[in-house]
């Protein structure tokens, strides 16, 4: 009998270990230690525009101009000092203004107060009567000019200035606090669980710049657990928070790690009687878009009992989903206004009034006022307001706990909390208006004892728990599912349901699709098989980490039930799918979900102008009101029509889709005619904009950037027209290609010494010899798509050397050098593509990998390891000279750095042409090595080791998808025979 019990428990442990071990085997290449004694504070800094945490306008770009709060860790040993010293009478400090503000009194000391509010303020000037309107100041009124650096002083009897004597006792916080992995399905909205256990950046109710504001931070979204010594009955309840603001104790230290779509919070606390790791993750299955559209997050707590006695463990999650704190909803459709005692009364009153659809609570004329609305207006951030959408909770064992918000508005839908139950576990649920009450009951019993079903409950907080016991040495995983179902995704007033509403009928349906622990194992395996392609490779850790985590960029994608796939340039720049910005980010999209990129190609083709120009975007805009759906348009650009041509070739070769090529080719032909027409005078694209729009390069006759895009487009045209047997077009492009090369030689190459030289940023100007980094982006694309060198390699290499010689900074390659003084932030800034493309090209030019990757590593590590903010990589960072060197400067959650996805291609020298069944490699590493094989919907690795007689042994293993080839070769060592592989299989050859 004893023997038998033993066997069963072993079996159970083996079974439970499976998810435990799978989660435990997820690899992470970043970490942040967040301790409960740390002090974290926002500092307000100068930035051009970035995305704020709290979004105060709906149907509008999520942006903040000129100043941005950035989280810092305060050093308690250093004093915080901020004085105006010295004060400079009758002195102006002209320039360097980042803010100009009318002070509340005509007193220069007000400028000191204002200046101290901004970390970037290093000096100020005060005018009792401003000479003219300037930013927020008005002519004739007093004005404080706040400066981000201290300019040369000038005598001026009407101005008082001061240089600040201030300390900055702040350092960058650990990884996981400024940003964290966004979890949630693809196009379903997401949430970030940060390293201190707080939940941020909620977009799961279809929030976007076309609807309501994201929910920046929800303090009452909580995870907690309770450990009980079953011998002594002593118990210990903890919130998974380092800085709890509730009555329950938190955790001493959390070690945060992220590998998209997994966050891991290691709980490091010697007073805990168990070893605990929390995982939060979502479904992400590459090559299976529908499966990846699952609107859900799983919280899994890995628990091990290291004690000689048995313990019980209770794990719970509570979410305040019935009330949105500091969010206002304003509607003209008021059906009732009441003066309630508490905002929770609004929820009940709305519930009792059949025509009530949503509510808003605020203090109005000193009275708490509740407005009931017959519609559901979009929410936006406003401190002191609380609002919500009509809804009610229900729960009946074995669950789920569901909050139902019926209706057809964007914010109507369902939430669900459901613990994973099994024979050795029990679960419970509750709904409560009072979070302390809810937490205290959990601390007392590890559950909510009431076993009666919950029906039509209107409480603010819904919670579920799951409990089990662990024998000495035993380990288990307790999991809770958080799912949602918000089918009605609006665009302003236009209803566009989410695609996922075609896959699921309600939230319980979502939950059932991943509703048992075997499913969690499948989810973990899907994630691991993708991660392993990178993490088991010979690539450097910084690159593996960036490849895995940059995919968090998908957070802003949308997929509608009409089949439209759309994505913002960024939440703070609210245009949709500009061709050039899409291309910077597109490689993981085309690899993981290639159909999404094809959908966009068809749409760009549809909006092609009669003159053949491809329009820049599906919906125009940036920094303002969101335009109506598909208000397409844009500028005349050197990297839009050209990229459309290149991407046609890329998609055709990589997916062997003949129908796609036939559908696109007329648009390609028309695009080529446009491209030739804008290059007809000098043989290079004339006066066009490009993705680097801030320096306004279209003022110049031509630029190297657009000229190399032109070369690449002409090369792609030659390939495409050959495939289509279109000799006329082939000849046109061939001739244009030859002319363009000669013209670049003549107009753009510049020898600045006997041994050195570079391509000029542009022709014309005042004859200055400016250099532009990332000028050779066209060559990056040409290599990845198998078009080879567009120009003399040793000349291009010279240019890259000059980029470093003339434009290198601590933070990466400066965009434009030699046009204006360095203090101009627009030229001086670090655009995140240049350093990556520099490394890609150096690899293709056979520079030894460690040297080639220097710039890429520096650029990405600035964000990963200095700012510790890799899940909010910006498009542009500031350089030195204007006060915020190395800090985010423009546009959050951006894709510019994602051109580093060309690096694995440059490392492996991968060439794919599935239309002819060809896959070849020319790796840049020396034996032995393993590198990823990246083809849309097809993933694997190439391993090369030394074998006997100076030969090498090549192994191509497939992890995901199917692969059929006529020709497989590494260097020129060809696999003898054709190849047919399915996931899990491999081929080997020697040579
Ligand atoms: C956003 O608002 C919340 C209150 O709702 C506040 O706790 C948080 O600090 C704000 N974030 C910033 C960056 O100011
Ligand atoms: C700045 O403050 C420090 C510390 O209070 C002081 O020692 C120093 O003299 C001040 N510098 C100026 C220029 O006033």
Determine the 3-state secondary structure of 642 from DSSP: helix
Question: Which atom of ligand 1 lies at the shortest distance from residue 52's CA?
Answer: 13
pLDDT at 821: 63
Ligand 1 pocket: which of 53, 55, 64, 382 to mutate (most atoms <8 Å of CB)? 53
Q: Round to whole Å and give the CA distance between 206 and 186.
A: 12
- CA-CA-CA-CA torsion sign (678, 681, 684, 689): negative
Q: Round to whole Å and give the CA distance between 118 and 421.
A: 51
pLDDT in tens, 389-422: 999 999 998 999 999 999 999 999 999 999 999 9
In which band, very low, low, confident or very high, does the pLDDT at 25 lie, cut at 50, 70 and 90? very high
pLDDT at 348: 96
- DSSP per position, 843-890: HHTT--HHHHTHHHHHHHHIIIIIS--GGG--SEE--TTSS-TTSEEE
226 CB contacts (<8 Å, ≥6 apart)?
235, 236, 237, 238, 313, 314, 442, 443, 446
Tell me: pLDDT of 215 over 60.
Answer: yes
Question: Which atom of ligand 1 lies at the shortest distance from residue 54's CA?
Answer: 1
Distance of CA 279 to the CA centre of its chain: 19
pLDDT in tens, 822-870: 666 689 999 999 999 999 999 999 999 999 999 999 999 999 999 999 9
Residue 409: CA atoms inside 13 Å, Cβ hemisphere, count?
18
Which whole number is the average pLDDT over 13-18?
Answer: 50
Rounded to the nearest angstrom, the distance between the alpha carbon of 71 and the centre of ligand 1 is 11
Q: Are 368 and 339 in contact (CB under 8 A)?
A: yes
Question: Which atom of ligand 2 lies at the shortest distance from residue 85's CA?
Answer: 14
711 CB contacts (<8 Å, ≥6 apart)?
737, 740, 741, 744, 778, 779, 782, 790, 791
- Burial (CB count within 10 angstroms: exposed 0-12, middle 13-18, buried 19+), residue 147: buried
Question: How far, CA to CA in Å, does 283 sit from each of 91, 481, 588?
Answer: 61, 12, 16
Ligand nearest to the CA of 165: 2
pLDDT in tens, 878-924: 988 778 999 999 999 999 999 999 999 999 999 999 999 999 999 99
Question: How far, CA to CA in Å, does 613 sit from each of 444, 607, 671?
Answer: 68, 9, 6
Which whole number is the average pLDDT over 219-233?
Answer: 98
Q: CA-based Rg of the chain, rounded to a whole angstrom?
A: 30
Q: Are 307 and 228 in contact (CB under 8 A)?
A: no
Q: Round to whole Å and give the CA distance between 680 and 702.
A: 12
- Burial (CB count within 10 angstroms: exposed 0-12, middle 13-18, buried 19+), residue 436: exposed
Question: Which helix (H) or strand (E) segment is 350 a member of?
Answer: helix 343-352
Length of the chain (residues): 991
Q: Are 630 and 577 in contact (CB under 8 A)?
A: no
What residue spans define the domains of the chain? 82-166, 174-321+391-531, 325-389, 536-905, 909-990
pLDDT at 822: 60
Ligand 1 shell residues, CB under 6 Å: 42, 53-54, 69, 216-217, 325-326
Rounded to the nearest angstrom, the distance between the alpha carbon of 248 and the centre of ligand 1 is 22
In which band, very low, low, confident or very high, does the pLDDT at 936 lie, cut at 50, 70 and 90? very high
The CATH architecture of the domain made up of 536-905 is Alpha/alpha barrel (1.50)
pLDDT in tens, 137-185: 999 999 999 999 999 999 999 999 999 999 999 999 999 999 999 999 9
- Structure tokens, 263: 């966050």
Q: Are 202 and 484 in contact (CB under 8 A)?
A: no
Rounded to the nearest angstrom, the distance between the alpha carbon of 217 and the centre of ligand 1 is 7
Residue nearest to atom 8 of ligand 1 (CA): 217
Question: Which helix (H) or strand (E) segment is 668 a member of?
Answer: helix 658-677
Q: Round to whole Å and give the CA distance between 319 and 834.
A: 43
Ligand nearest to the CA of 70: 1
Q: Round to whole Å and give the CA distance between 555 and 562.
A: 20
- CA-CA-CA-CA torsion sign (627, 630, 631, 632): positive
Question: Helices then strands (H, E): number in the chain?
Answer: 21, 58
Rounded to the nearest angstrom, the distance between the alpha carbon of 84 and the centre of ligand 2 is 10
Q: Round to whole Å and give the CA distance between 207 and 490.
A: 9
Angle, helices 641-655 vs 579-592, to 10°: value is 10
Q: Round to whole Å and give the CA distance between 62 and 101.
A: 23
Q: Are 818 and 770 in contact (CB under 8 A)?
A: yes
Rounded to the nearest angstrom, the distance between the alpha carbon of 155 and the centre of ligand 2 is 24
Rounded to the nearest angstrom, the distance between the alpha carbon of 165 and the centre of ligand 2 is 6
Ligand nearest to the CA of 86: 2
Strand partners for 964: 980
Q: Are 507 and 416 in contact (CB under 8 A)?
A: yes
pLDDT in tens, 952-969: 999 999 999 999 999 999
Please give the CATH topology (third level) of the domain spanning 82-166. Answer: Hepatocyte Growth Factor (3.50.4)
pLDDT at 859: 98
Tell me: pLDDT of 14 over 80.
Answer: no
- DSSP per position, 941-980: EEEEEE-STT-EEEEEEEEESEEEESEEEETTEE-SS-EE
Tell me: pLDDT of 12 over 80.
Answer: no
Rounded to the nearest angstrom, the distance between the alpha carbon of 89 and the centre of ligand 2 is 19
Q: Are 931 and 950 in contact (CB under 8 A)?
A: no
Q: Round to whole Å and give the CA distance between 752 and 772.
A: 15
Please give the CATH topology (third level) of the domain spanning 174-321+391-531. Answer: Beta-galactosidase; Chain A, domain 5 (2.70.98)
Phi, psi of 77 (to 5 degrees): -80, -15
Residue nearest to atom 1 of ligand 1 (CA): 54
Q: Round to whole Å and give the CA distance between 596 and 590.
A: 7
Tell me: pLDDT of 479 over 70.
Answer: yes
In which band, very low, low, confident or very high, does the pLDDT at 449 lie, cut at 50, 70 and 90? confident
Which whole number is the average pLDDT over 678-690?
Answer: 98
In which band, very low, low, confident or very high, does the pLDDT at 4 lie, cut at 50, 70 and 90? very low
Which whole number is the average pLDDT over 310-325?
Answer: 98
Question: Which helix (H) or strand (E) segment is 989 a member of?
Answer: strand 986-990
Q: Round to whole Å and give the CA distance between 292 and 310.
A: 39
Ligand 2 pocket: which of 82, 83, 84, 85 to mutate (most atoms <8 Å of CB)? 85
Q: Are 51 and 572 in contact (CB under 8 A)?
A: yes
Which whole number is the average pLDDT over 648-660?
Answer: 98
Question: Which atom of ligand 1 lies at the shortest distance from residue 383's CA?
Answer: 5
Tell me: pLDDT of 605 over 90.
Answer: yes
Please give the CATH topology (third level) of the domain spanning 325-389. Answer: Hepatocyte Growth Factor (3.50.4)
Question: Which helix (H) or strand (E) segment is 82 a member of?
Answer: strand 82-88
Residue nearest to atom 8 of ligand 2 (CA): 165
Backbone region of residue 846 per phi and psi (left: phi > 0; alpha: psi in -120 to 50; beta: other values): left
Rounded to the nearest angstrom, the distance between the alpha carbon of 872 and the centre of ligand 1 is 17
Ligand nearest to the CA of 386: 1
Rounded to the nearest angstrom, the distance between the alpha carbon of 123 and the centre of ligand 2 is 15
% of the chain exceeding 70 in pLDDT: 98
pLDDT at 883: 83
Q: Round to whole Å and give the CA distance between 83 and 93.
A: 17
Q: Are 973 and 952 in contact (CB under 8 A)?
A: yes
- Structure tokens, 751: 């020898």
Rounded to the nearest angstrom, the distance between the alpha carbon of 344 and the centre of ligand 1 is 22
For β-strands 918-921 and 911-913, DSSP reports them as antiparallel
Strand partners for 979: 965
Tell me: pLDDT of 17 over 90.
Answer: no
DSSP structural state of residue 364: E
Tell me: pLDDT of 877 over 80.
Answer: yes
Rounded to the nearest angstrom, the distance between the alpha carbon of 201 and the centre of ligand 1 is 11
Q: Are 618 and 574 in contact (CB under 8 A)?
A: no
Residue nearest to atom 5 of ligand 1 (CA): 326
- Residue listed under structure tokens 């078009």: 787
Ligand 2 shell residues, CB under 6 Å: 81, 85-86, 165
Phi, psi of 296 (to 5 degrees): -160, 155
Tell me: pLDDT of 8 over 50.
Answer: no
In which band, very low, low, confident or very high, does the pLDDT at 341 lie, cut at 50, 70 and 90? confident
Question: Which atom of ligand 1 lies at the shortest distance from residue 69's CA?
Answer: 13
Q: Round to whole Å and give the CA distance between 776 and 759.
A: 9
Q: Round to whole Å and give the CA distance between 989 and 991.
A: 7
Is the fold of 82-166 the same as that of 325-389?
yes
Question: Which atom of ligand 1 lies at the shortest distance from residue 71's CA?
Answer: 13
Question: How far, CA to CA in Å, does 912 sit from each of 311, 610, 931, 936, 956?
Answer: 56, 33, 15, 10, 14
In which band, very low, low, confident or very high, does the pLDDT at 39 lie, cut at 50, 70 and 90? very high
């Amino acid at each position: 009998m004893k023997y038998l019990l033993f066997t069963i428990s072993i079996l159970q442990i083996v079974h439970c270990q499976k998810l435990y071990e799978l989660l435990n085997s997820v690899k992470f290449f970043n970490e942040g230690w967040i301790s409960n004694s740390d002090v974290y504070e926002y500092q307000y800094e100068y930035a051009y525009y970035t995305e704020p945490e709290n979004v105060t306008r709906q149907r509008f770009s999520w942006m903040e101009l000129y100043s941005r709060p950035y989280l810092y860790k305060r050093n308690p040993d250093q004093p915080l000092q901020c004085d105006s010293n010295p004060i400079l009478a009758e002195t102006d400090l002209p320039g360097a203004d980042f803010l100009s503000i009318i002070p509340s009194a005509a007193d220069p000391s007000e400028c000191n107060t204002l200046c101290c509010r901004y970390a970037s303020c290093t000096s100020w000037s005060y005018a009792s009567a401003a000479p003219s309107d300037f930013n927020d100041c008005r002519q004739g009124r007093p004005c404080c000019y706040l400066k981000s650096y201290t300019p040369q002083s000038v005598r001026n009897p009407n101005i008082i200035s001061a240089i600040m004597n201030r300390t900055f006792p702040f350092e960058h916080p650990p990884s996981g606090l400024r940003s964290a992995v966004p979890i949630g399905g693809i196009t379903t909205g997401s949430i970030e669980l940060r390293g201190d256990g707080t939940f941020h950046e909620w977009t799961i109710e279809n929030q976007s710049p076309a609807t309501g504001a994201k929910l920046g931070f929800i303090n009452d979204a909580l995870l907690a657990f309770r450990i009980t010594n079953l011998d002594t009955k002593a118990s210990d309840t903890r919130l998974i928070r380092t800085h709890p603001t509730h009555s329950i104790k938190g955790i001493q230290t959390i070690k945060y790690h992220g590998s998209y779509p997994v966050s891991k919070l290691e709980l490091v606390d010697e007073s805990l009687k168990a070893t605990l790791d929390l995982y939060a993750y979502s479904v992400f299955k590459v090559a299976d878009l529908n499966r990846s559209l699952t609107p859900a997050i799983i919280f899994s707590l890995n628990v091990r009992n290291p004690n000689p006695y048995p313990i019980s463990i209770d794990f719970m999650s509570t979410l305040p989903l019935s009330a949105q704190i500091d969010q206002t909803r304003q509607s003209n459709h008021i059906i009732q206004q009441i003066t309630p005692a508490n905002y929770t009364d609004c929820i009940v009153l709305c519930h009792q009034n059949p025509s009530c659809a949503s509510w808003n609570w605020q203090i109005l004329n000193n009275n708490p006022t509740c407005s009931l609305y017959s519609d559901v207006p979009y929410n936006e951030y406003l401190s002191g307001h609380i609002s919500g959408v009509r809804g009610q909770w229900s729960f009946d064992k074995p669950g789920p706990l569901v909050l139902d918000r019926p209706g057809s508005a964007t914010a109507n839908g369902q939430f669900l909390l459901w613990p994973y139950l099994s024979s050795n576990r029990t679960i419970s649920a509750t709904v409560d208006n009072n979070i302390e009450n809810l937490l205290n009951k959990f601390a007392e019993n590890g559950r909510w004892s009431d076993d009666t079903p919950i029906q039509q409950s209107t409480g603010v907080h819904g919670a579920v728990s799951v409990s089990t016991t662990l024998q000495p040495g035993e380990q288990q995983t307790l999991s809770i599912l958080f799912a949602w179902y918000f089918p009605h995704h609006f665009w302003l007033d236009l209803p566009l349901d989410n695609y996922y509403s075609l896959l699921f009928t309600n939230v319980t349906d979502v939950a059932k699709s991943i509703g048992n622990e075997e499913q969690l194992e499948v989810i973990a395996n899907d994630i691991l098989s993708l991660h392993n392609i990178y993490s088991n490779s010979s690539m450097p850790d910084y690159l593996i980490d960036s490849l895995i985590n940059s995919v968090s960029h998908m957070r802003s994608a949308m997929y509608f039930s009409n089949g439209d796939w759309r994505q913002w340039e960024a939440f703070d720049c609210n245009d949709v799918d500009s061709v050039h910005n899409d291309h910077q980010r597109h490689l993981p999209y085309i690899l993981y979900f290639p159909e999404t990129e094809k959908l966009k190609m068809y749409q760009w083709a549809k909006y092609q102008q009669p003159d053949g120009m491809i329009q820049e975007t599906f919906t125009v805009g940036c920094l303002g009101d969101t335009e109506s759906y598909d208000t397409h348009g844009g500028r005349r650009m050197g990297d839009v029509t050209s990229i459309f041509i290149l991407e046609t070739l890329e998609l055709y070769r990589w997916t062997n889709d003949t129908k796609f090529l036939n559908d696109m080719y007329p648009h390609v032909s028309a695009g080529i005619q446009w491209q030739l027409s804008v290059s007809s005078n000098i043989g290079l694209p004339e006066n066009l904009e490009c993705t680097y729009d801030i320096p306004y390069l279209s003022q110049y006759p031509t630029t190297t950037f657009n000229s190399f895009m032109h070369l690449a487009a002409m090369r792609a045209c030659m390939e495409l027209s050959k495939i289509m047997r279109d000799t006329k077009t082939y000849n046109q492009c061939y001739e244009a290609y030859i002319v363009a090369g000669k013209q670049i030689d003549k107009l753009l190459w510049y020898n600045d010494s006997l041994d050195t030289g570079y391509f000029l940023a542009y022709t014309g100007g005042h004859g200055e010899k400016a250099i532009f980094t990332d000028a050779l982006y066209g060559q990056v694309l040409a290599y990845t798509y198998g078009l080879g060198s567009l120009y003399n390699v040793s000349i291009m290499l010279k240019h890259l050397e000059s980029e470093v010689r003339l434009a290198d900074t601590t933070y990466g390659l400066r965009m434009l050098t030699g046009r204006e003084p360095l203090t101009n932030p627009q030229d001086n800034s670090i655009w995140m593509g240049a350093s990556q493309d520099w490394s890609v090209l150096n690899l293709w030019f056979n520079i030894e990998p460690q040297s080639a990757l220097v710039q890429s590593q520096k650029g990405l590590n600035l964000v990963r390891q200095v700012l510790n903010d890799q899940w909010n990589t910006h498009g542009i960072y500031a350089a030195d000279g204007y006060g915020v060197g190395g800090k985010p400067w423009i546009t959050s959650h951006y894709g510019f750095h994602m051109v580093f996805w060309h690096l694995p291609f440059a490392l492996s020298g991968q060439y794919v042409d599935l239309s002819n069944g060809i896959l070849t490699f020319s790796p840049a590493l020396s034996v032995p090595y393993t590198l990823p094989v990246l083809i849309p919907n097809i993933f694997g690795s190439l391993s090369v080791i030394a074998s006997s007689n100076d030969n090498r042994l090549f192994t191509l293993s497939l992890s995901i998808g199917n692969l059929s080839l006529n020709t497989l070769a590494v260097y020129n060592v060809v696999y003898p025979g054709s190849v047919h592989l399915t996931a899990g299989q491999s081929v080997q050859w020697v040579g």
